Chains A and B, each alone.
Chain A
């Protein structure tokens, strides 16, 4: 069930109203049932995969608390292997076997791997990472093992953030299922406003930009440099509004019921450096990698070459997390490379560090950071190397907007929305006291300016 559908609106109305109608002791069961219904709308059978990781990690949590020493380590390792194994089979198997076959050909070897005709379970990387964060936190002693199987299942399956995050930590979420949430009008208003903001970002901005971006990226061979640059910039905002719109809806829907989920975005395109961008973009994933991978590798408390290696590992893994394809790996490696280049320059010329800038130079840094991020998105958007080649070859074509019938009014309106978004990102803040006039404006804008194509959220594929 996609958020930008009437099915979801009706589902949300039923579940939220039922949540406030039933007694507190039944609410977790209601949410678990609703989450199963929500997830099964994509592919009912895949509930089994989710069930498998839930059972494994539930018992792993209990045994992690019970055991010490090597047994505890083995327990964690088994849980992680089970989780990564599910990812490996359902997400990476095709990629690995294709590449092994390719490498085998180079050495004159023939591999015949059986083909798995399976669809990628929706949101697999998200809920697997959330499940893994539970066992790691229990292992580290930061979280008690959850005894109530239903509550633990709900931690993994809580519908607002089940398929595209934010990737929660058990310390933040599990205790909230035990808390009794009473109706708080201000909180409900704020939650609804945040949902409306998310719908606005998705159907008014992201899906509108998608009309232009898809047109240009769909015919790369006949584009001018101007069109390609325009498409690259628009895609940066499309993916931002698409994903942050999803996060807003998820966080807002949870907030209406009294749950606080972590914020996932914080004006990422106002970042003045790549490290700052990653502190503002997909925060729940970047902190996941920082907490569980980067620090485990030693972080920056190691030699400089090793530190650089740690950074690169994290970014390449982050790219690989997004998809089983080389373009995502390159996207991650590019961000890693940008980080390392920035770090090196900062070490050699401290006065050039982004934090030391102000005034015009601060804006130049922001523009430069945005340009680097936009360049990397090209690799993210185009899965085939032939397309990437076409894109960069096309950049040398005479500048000017292409001839695919893009309407100036459409481009101008999209640009206006982007400028509004940037200003709002830096200055704006939702407040419940504005609900009575803000909500009708949101609804009217969503209806009149929205593009209703039931287009999937980009991050659902991960």
Chain B
């Protein structure tokens, strides 16, 4: 009996280790966990990413899973190719099909981790428009020409001394870099455990006033924000003091990127930055980074800033327990983009 128990423990632990060390295994598991419902599936993101980080039960608010509806009444003419480099503000809310966009015949969507977009591969005579999109909190990380250029013109990795090579080889062969997170996912990312996680989150919140460190609760208490968007020490914070020099510096980087892509064969480069939800929902002490970029960049760059339109009814356009906008918010931006696309010169 003791041997059987030992064998059982051995197999379970070994399976968990092998599965969590395998990228293919984790991809399969992730897909299966998020595909279904029930206690053996994951509900981590079903109620918003910030609920999944905080597990505060009062923010267990169901999210709409469907993509934003395709707008009606777009022009029949399809004379543009649209290339997009963007983040989850787009790919989680808009299906990657050209039907959403005015005049767009072909859509090439890339996530930020897969830049660059190359225009060379397309031989059509249509105008090539590049849209560069990022959420406000990520601007400093992604608006960097070096990052983009490095993919176009890769430099060979530095040659390490033999002992460091040996070290890296062994380490990557034996220990998956995300092993701890993968194990946590494999063993505990199940709806079965959510009530226990909620109980712990409630205890920490009510007794110590402590939330998960990635999360911050709004002053009114009815929204959650990413902590980095309110922490004045973080680069992506809406409350960090930003000097005019920094705004000019960001513009300079955007101009460099625009010039770079124009030289690579694009006809038009558009920028669009999505405001941190807190920038609109609690705007009184914000740094107004996006509007300052918009004003300073006027005439030099084409920037689509949805802030003004979203601000009109901000709480209508953002989830309470998610760091993103909702489908309505995405639609506001989409309409604004389509106005710009309609006006692109033939």
A, B in one complex: yes
The interface residues of chain A lying within 8 Å CB-to-CB of B2 are 20, 183
Determine if A41 and B175 form an interchain contact, defined as CB atoms under 8 angstroms apart.
Answer: yes
Determine if A17 and B7 form an interchain contact, defined as CB atoms under 8 angstroms apart.
Answer: yes
- Most A CB contacts (10 A, CB to CB) among B3, B10, B166 go to B10
Distance from B206 Cβ to chain A, minimum over Cβ atoms (Å): 9
Partner of B208, one of A13, A43, A409: A409
Determine if A20 and B208 form an interchain contact, defined as CB atoms under 8 angstroms apart.
Answer: no
The interface residues of chain A lying within 8 Å CB-to-CB of B199 are 448
| Interface assignment of A10: CB less than 8 Å from any CB of chain B | yes
Determine if B180 and A7 form an interchain contact, defined as CB atoms under 8 angstroms apart.
Answer: yes
The interface residues of chain B lying within 8 Å CB-to-CB of A409 are 207-209
| Interface assignment of A45: CB less than 8 Å from any CB of chain B | yes
The interface residues of chain B lying within 8 Å CB-to-CB of A10 are 13, 16-17, 183
Partner of A7, one of B7, B9, B183: B183
Binding site for A on B (CB under 8 A): 2-3, 6-7, 9-10, 12-14, 16-17, 163-164, 166-167, 170-171, 174-175, 179-180, 183-184, 187, 196, 199-200, 203, 207-210
A309 to B27, CA, bound (A): 64
The interface residues of chain B lying within 8 Å CB-to-CB of A40 are 170-171, 174-175
Partner of A45, one of B6, B13, B163, B183: B163
Partner of A6, one of B183, B196, B210: B183
A43 to B180, CA, bound (A): 17
- Most B CB contacts (10 A, CB to CB) among A5, A7, A10, A11 go to A10
Distance from B270 Cβ to chain A, minimum over Cβ atoms (Å): 42
Distance from B312 Cβ to chain A, minimum over Cβ atoms (Å): 35
The interface residues of chain A lying within 8 Å CB-to-CB of B163 are 45
What are some 13 contacts across the A-B interface (CB < 8 A)? A10-B16, A10-B183, A13-B13, A17-B7, A17-B9, A17-B10, A37-B174, A41-B175, A44-B167, A44-B174, A413-B207, A447-B200, A448-B200
Distance from A363 Cβ to chain B, minimum over Cβ atoms (Å): 31
| Interface assignment of A454: CB less than 8 Å from any CB of chain B | yes
A40 to B173, CA, bound (A): 11
The interface residues of chain B lying within 8 Å CB-to-CB of A454 are 180
Determine if B208 and A5 form an interchain contact, defined as CB atoms under 8 angstroms apart.
Answer: no
Determine if B175 and A21 form an interchain contact, defined as CB atoms under 8 angstroms apart.
Answer: no
The interface residues of chain A lying within 8 Å CB-to-CB of B6 are 17-18, 20-21
Distance from A404 Cβ to chain B, minimum over Cβ atoms (Å): 14
Determine if A14 and B13 form an interchain contact, defined as CB atoms under 8 angstroms apart.
Answer: yes
The interface residues of chain B lying within 8 Å CB-to-CB of A45 are 163-164, 166-167, 170
Q: In the complex, which residues 5-57 of chain A have their Cβ closer than 8 Å to any Cβ of chain B?
A: 5-7, 10-11, 13-14, 16-18, 20-21, 37, 40-41, 43-45
Distance from B210 Cβ to chain A, minimum over Cβ atoms (Å): 8
Determine if A20 and B3 form an interchain contact, defined as CB atoms under 8 angstroms apart.
Answer: yes
Distance from A4 Cβ to chain B, minimum over Cβ atoms (Å): 11
Q: In the complex, which residues 283-307 of chain A have their Cβ closer than 8 Å to any Cβ of chain B?
A: none
Determine if A14 and B208 form an interchain contact, defined as CB atoms under 8 angstroms apart.
Answer: no
Determine if A44 and B171 form an interchain contact, defined as CB atoms under 8 angstroms apart.
Answer: yes
Q: What is the predominant secondary structure among interface residues of chain A facing chain B?
A: helix
Indicate the size class of the contact surface on chain A. 20 to 34
A324 to B167, CA, bound (A): 26
Distance from A116 Cβ to chain B, minimum over Cβ atoms (Å): 13
The interface residues of chain A lying within 8 Å CB-to-CB of B183 are 6-7, 10
The interface residues of chain B lying within 8 Å CB-to-CB of A413 are 207-208
Determine if B9 and A13 form an interchain contact, defined as CB atoms under 8 angstroms apart.
Answer: yes
**Given the interface contacts A5-B180, A45-B167, does A18 sit within 8 Å of B10 by beta carbon?**
yes
A430 to B13, CA, bound (A): 27
Q: Using A13-B10, A13-B13, A407-B209 as known contacts, list a sample of 4 further A-B pairs with CB atoms less than 8 Å apart, ordered by residue number in A.
A: A11-B17, A21-B7, A45-B166, A407-B208
A44 to B196, CA, bound (A): 38
The interface residues of chain B lying within 8 Å CB-to-CB of A13 are 9-10, 12-13
Determine if B196 and A447 form an interchain contact, defined as CB atoms under 8 angstroms apart.
Answer: yes
The interface residues of chain A lying within 8 Å CB-to-CB of B13 are 10-11, 13-14, 17
| Interface assignment of A110: CB less than 8 Å from any CB of chain B | no
| Interface assignment of A410: CB less than 8 Å from any CB of chain B | yes
Determine if B170 and A21 form an interchain contact, defined as CB atoms under 8 angstroms apart.
Answer: no
* CB nearest to B181 among chain A residues: A6
The interface residues of chain B lying within 8 Å CB-to-CB of A183 are 2
**Given the interface contacts A6-B183, A13-B9, A447-B200, does A21 sit within 8 Å of B171 by beta carbon?**
no
Distance from B65 Cβ to chain A, minimum over Cβ atoms (Å): 30
A13 to B170, CA, bound (A): 23
Distance from A455 Cβ to chain B, minimum over Cβ atoms (Å): 13
Distance from A410 Cβ to chain B, minimum over Cβ atoms (Å): 5
A410 to B209, CA, bound (A): 9
The interface residues of chain A lying within 8 Å CB-to-CB of B14 are 14
The interface residues of chain B lying within 8 Å CB-to-CB of A43 are 167
A338 to B14, CA, bound (A): 51
Residue interface bits A396-432, CB-to-B below 8 A is 1, else 0: 0000000000010110010000000000000000000
A14 to B175, CA, bound (A): 15
Distance from A171 Cβ to chain B, minimum over Cβ atoms (Å): 30
A448 to B180, CA, bound (A): 20
Determine if A6 and B174 form an interchain contact, defined as CB atoms under 8 angstroms apart.
Answer: no
* CB nearest to B199 among chain A residues: A448
Determine if A6 and B10 form an interchain contact, defined as CB atoms under 8 angstroms apart.
Answer: no
Determine if A44 and B166 form an interchain contact, defined as CB atoms under 8 angstroms apart.
Answer: yes
The interface residues of chain A lying within 8 Å CB-to-CB of B200 are 447-448
